[in-house]
Amino acid sequence: MRGLPLTVILHDAIGPSYSEYALEILDGQGRQLRRVKGLYRSPADTFRVALSRRLLPAGRYRLRLYGLYAGGSKAVGDYPIRVRYL
């Protein structure tokens, strides 16, 4: 199990649709760990991201979803999460 990635599925049905999205991953102190671009909304209004368990050890995090457009980005979702491994 240790080698398997952590898969995160986010749901966002509210607001306008963008052609592309980005996900910002923040640690418990609000420091940015990573920004992942190239996300696309599924027909079920979800986003699926596979992340390394090394990037997210057990703890609290905040995931922020941004809609990307020419010249900028707009925050469309904010997801506080707690990661626990069995």
Q: Among all chains, which residue has been given the structure tokens 């991201």?
A: 49
| pLDDT greater than 90 at residue 4 | no
- Report the number of distinct structural domains present in the chain: 1
- Helices (H) and strands (E) in the chain — how many of each? 0, 6
Any domain includes 73:
yes
**Domain residues for 10?**
6-83
Any domain includes 16:
yes
Q: What is the pLDDT of residue 54?
A: 84
Read off the pLDDT of residues 21-61 as tens digits, 9 standing for 90 and up: 999 999 999 999 999 999 999 999 899 999 888 888 889 99
Q: Are 1 and 35 in contact (CB under 8 A)?
A: no
Any domain includes 1:
no
pLDDT band of 63, cuts 50, 70, 90: very high
| pLDDT greater than 80 at residue 2 | no
User: Residue 54 sits in a domain of what CATH number?
Assistant: 2.60.40.1220
